[in-house]
Amino acid sequence: MTGFSALGLSEETLEALNEKGYENPTPIQRETIPLLMHGAKDIVGQAQTGSGKTAAFGIPLIEKYDPTIDGVQALVLTPTRELALQVSDEIQSYKGGRKIWLTTVYGGAPISRQMKDLEKGTDIVVGTPGRVIDLIKRKKLILDEVRYVVLDEADEMLNMGFLEDVEYILSMCNEERRMLLFSATMPKRILDLAKRYMGEYELIAVKNKTLTTASINQQYFEVPSRSRFDALCRILDVEEDFYGIVFCNTKAEVVEITNHLNEKGYTSDSLHGDIAQNLREQVIRQFKSNNFGLLIATDVAARGIDIHDLTHVINYGLPQDPESYVHRIGRTGRAGKDGKAISIIDSNERRKLQYIQRLTKAEITKVKLPDAKEMVAIKKRRISEQVETVISTEKYTSLMEFTHELLRENEPEMVIASLLKIFRGDDLDVNEYKDLQIVESKNRKERGGRNDRDSGRGRDRDNDRGGRKRRGNSGGATMRLFVAMGRKDKVSPRDILEMIGSETNIPSNKIDDIKILDTFSFFTTNEEDGEFILKTFKKKARTDNQKPLIEQARVRR
């Protein structure tokens, strides 16, 4: 026997797989299905999106269905609504003509309808943690007889803060259940979760070898963090026939970048965890039909969305671990087509990039951003090409009468220059482009809440008392602020950005030069935002009857 027949599946399941066009199992299916069908251990499986892991656990759930049990037999938890719907549809397709009932539960849809579905009786429930807990507390979802609990995309569930929810759900399940944990990445905390809540388990790690092939051209640009958005715009202007995803690490970044891009005339849309389900489906549908070529998304929102033919993936900063990087860039360069993965990093991310290169054995080339003259030259060339195309296809004829009217009173050169100014704005003015290159400076030491004086080769600002810096060549006074949290508090730069954003709505690109030390941290912002941050956290401290978490850094000379 070959293909799926060799796995000992029923004729009804084989027929269902044949109708779907499935001939041979993928590596994760080949290893997982026999263990679930004939073994007794729990399973921890690692596999990327597109590897067929839904079938790896979905087929055995159908095969192991017991018609004598009156109650929910299997629970599948997913981090997002989109993935819950996708997983449920996939499992439905494996059951053939068998009377096995599935119910999908998730936020953003009327809970009353889901309650009615559960009351009618169901065998397999697929859902997001929040809605599952709501239904458990309403005593509509009873898990006393559940035989299988599946955590799909477990790494993203932890990233989204669902650990306590998962723990609560597991505490409400039959203690004799088998647990299956599937994840695209396998950080230490996933294995810690397995040790705490699973019995003896098999670890199956299937790497998708197609993700870092030579078909993906991997590059990175290094710029100061405050210039990251400008670098993104420059990349989008340079790259031709762009159809891709820009990955961000936070929802706040997604919203901010999408808004700024659309204000600047780019056609983009966004995906993050807070988007309503109907809008989310609309965005995905539009992107798949290529109604716009640019999607800004978090890792969580993009999970479970299988979009083909992407030309580019851009990392707006590096993800937390190398496996997430591999997972992101694997969305381009598929099916033998060339793809490009571009990362925009700052100097603080150099070591992380080196770590990614070492673990993935990937060649990630450092590339210099085009300067102002090069950008103008590129845009002039494209305008010339567009003009030649219009002329060769004679698509200008309907405008000839108006053209003659313009030329009666003006010189041709003046008319053309005016039209370029009107429709291309400042795109062709070299003075409108910022210098985005990093200027190297001497290392500076933090002492008791201060930055040592800049070397003069860096930002060219002299330190002033009170943590401020006088105006320098880069323009605008800045302020150095002190945060009463550090490594011992398990604080990351992203935590500081999110904390400031949630309390003040100041965008992350206004925060620069974050430095995390053992018991405290520092960051820099402009003076106006700095004053607002100090005022906000001082007011919050008075409310909480505590010392302010953020204060102005003291500078010793």
Give the pLDDT band (50/70/90) at residue 303: low
Beta-carbon contacts of 263 under 8 Å, excluding residues fewer than 6 positions away, are none
Please tell me the predicted confidence (pLDDT) of residue 426: 66
Q: Residue 362 corresponds to which amino acid?
A: A
**Torsion angle of alpha carbons 403, 409, 414, 417, nearest 10°?**
-40
Both tokens of 477, joined, read 């006074």
Q: Based on the domain organization, do 223 and 344 belong to the same domain?
A: yes
Is pLDDT of 106 > 50? Answer: yes
Mean pLDDT of the 423-452 span = 52
The CATH code of the domain that includes 121 is 3.40.50.300
Q: Based on the domain organization, do 354 and 475 belong to the same domain?
A: no
Q: Based on the domain organization, do 273 and 323 belong to the same domain?
A: yes
Mean pLDDT of the 42-51 span = 78
Mean pLDDT of the 301-323 span = 76
Mean pLDDT of the 526-541 span = 89
In whole angstroms, give the CA distance from residue 54 to residue 180.
Answer: 12
Nearest Cα neighbor of 197 from 230, 164, 223, 222 is 164
CB-based contact 485:515 (threshold 8 Å): no
Q: Based on the domain organization, do 379 and 340 belong to the same domain?
A: no
122 in a domain, yes or no? yes
Domain assignment of residue 99, given as a range: 3-205
Q: Based on the domain organization, do 290 and 330 belong to the same domain?
A: yes
Give the pLDDT band (50/70/90) at residue 135: very high
Is pLDDT of 444 > 50? Answer: no
Q: Based on the domain organization, do 362 and 381 belong to the same domain?
A: no
In whole angstroms, give the CA distance from residue 356 to residue 321.
Answer: 8
455 in a domain, yes or no? no
Please tell me the predicted confidence (pLDDT) of residue 18: 83
User: By mean pLDDT, which of 164-168, 258-262, 308-312, 449-453 is the weakest?
Assistant: 449-453
Please tell me the predicted confidence (pLDDT) of residue 291: 59
What is the percentage of the chain residues whose pLDDT exceeds 90? 25
The pLDDT tens digits for 328-346 are: 888 786 555 678 999 999 8
458 in a domain, yes or no? no
Residue 246, CA distances (Å) to 336, 381, 419, 555 in order? 22, 26, 32, 39
439 in a domain, yes or no? no
164 in a domain, yes or no? yes
Q: Which of 366, 390, 423 is the last residue of a domain?
A: 366
Give, as one character, the DSSP assignment of residue 225.
Answer: G
Higher pLDDT: 11 or 429? It is 11
Mean pLDDT of the 408-431 span = 77
Residue 200, CA distances (Å) to 101, 182, 194, 331 in order? 30, 16, 9, 34
**pTM for this model (two decimals):** 0.48
Alpha helices by DSSP H, listed for 289-431, are 299-302, 322-329, 350-360, 372-393, 400-409, 412-424
Q: Residue 303 corresponds to which amino acid?
A: R
Number of domains, the chain: 4
User: By mean pLDDT, which of 3-7, 51-55, 363-367 is the weakest?
Assistant: 51-55
Q: Based on the domain organization, do 360 and 257 belong to the same domain?
A: yes
CB-based contact 157:77 (threshold 8 Å): yes
Both tokens of 527, joined, read 């003076």
Helix (H, G, I), strand (E, B) or coil at 219: strand
Q: Residue 521 corresponds to which amino acid?
A: S
CB-based contact 428:379 (threshold 8 Å): yes
Is pLDDT of 100 > 70? Answer: yes
Please tell me the predicted confidence (pLDDT) of residue 357: 83
Beta-carbon contacts of 125 under 8 Å, excluding residues fewer than 6 positions away, are 72, 74, 75, 76, 102, 103, 104, 105, 118, 132, 141
Q: How many residues are listed for the chain in this entry?
A: 557
Q: Based on the domain organization, do 198 and 285 belong to the same domain?
A: no
Mean pLDDT of the chain: 80
Alpha helices by DSSP H, listed for 487-555, are 493-504, 527-544
Is pLDDT of 416 > 70? Answer: yes
Q: Based on the domain organization, do 346 and 398 belong to the same domain?
A: no
Give the pLDDT band (50/70/90) at residue 445: very low
Please tell me the predicted confidence (pLDDT) of residue 196: 85
Residue 267, CA distances (Å) to 65, 295, 330, 426 in order? 48, 9, 24, 19
The pLDDT tens digits for 181-231 are: 988 777 788 888 888 888 888 888 876 544 445 568 999 999 988 889 989
Q: Which of 340, 366, 392 is the last residue of a domain?
A: 366
Is pLDDT of 147 > 80? Answer: yes
Q: Based on the domain organization, do 287 and 419 belong to the same domain?
A: no
Give the pLDDT band (50/70/90) at residue 143: very high
Residue 296, CA distances (Å) to 156, 336, 389 in order? 18, 25, 31
438 in a domain, yes or no? no
CB-based contact 269:302 (threshold 8 Å): no
Higher pLDDT: 246 or 474? It is 246
Please tell me the predicted confidence (pLDDT) of residue 455: 32
Q: Based on the domain organization, do 420 and 480 belong to the same domain?
A: no
Please tell me the predicted confidence (pLDDT) of residue 77: 95
Please tell me the predicted confidence (pLDDT) of residue 109: 84
445 in a domain, yes or no? no
Most confident of 54-63, 331-340, 535-544: 54-63
Give the pLDDT band (50/70/90) at residue 162: confident
Please tell me the predicted confidence (pLDDT) of residue 215: 67
In whole angstroms, give the CA distance from residue 327 to residue 186.
Answer: 12
Q: Based on the domain organization, do 413 and 360 belong to the same domain?
A: no
84 in a domain, yes or no? yes
Please tell me the predicted confidence (pLDDT) of residue 315: 94
Is pLDDT of 281 > 80? Answer: no
Both tokens of 357, joined, read 């290169």
11-48 as b/e: b if 16+ CB within 10 A: eebbebbeeeebeebbbbbbbbbebbeeeeebbbbbbb
Please tell me the predicted confidence (pLDDT) of residue 308: 64
Q: In 10 A of CB 59, how many CB atoms?
A: 29
The pLDDT tens digits for 451-462 are: 333 333 333 333
In whole angstroms, give the CA distance from residue 433 to residue 425.
Answer: 13
Give the pLDDT band (50/70/90) at residue 71: very high
Mean pLDDT of the 7-35 span = 87
Q: Which of 183, 205, 227 is the last residue of a domain?
A: 205
Alpha helices by DSSP H, listed for 138-250, are 154-159, 163-171, 188-197, 228-238
The CATH code of the domain that includes 520 is 3.30.70.330
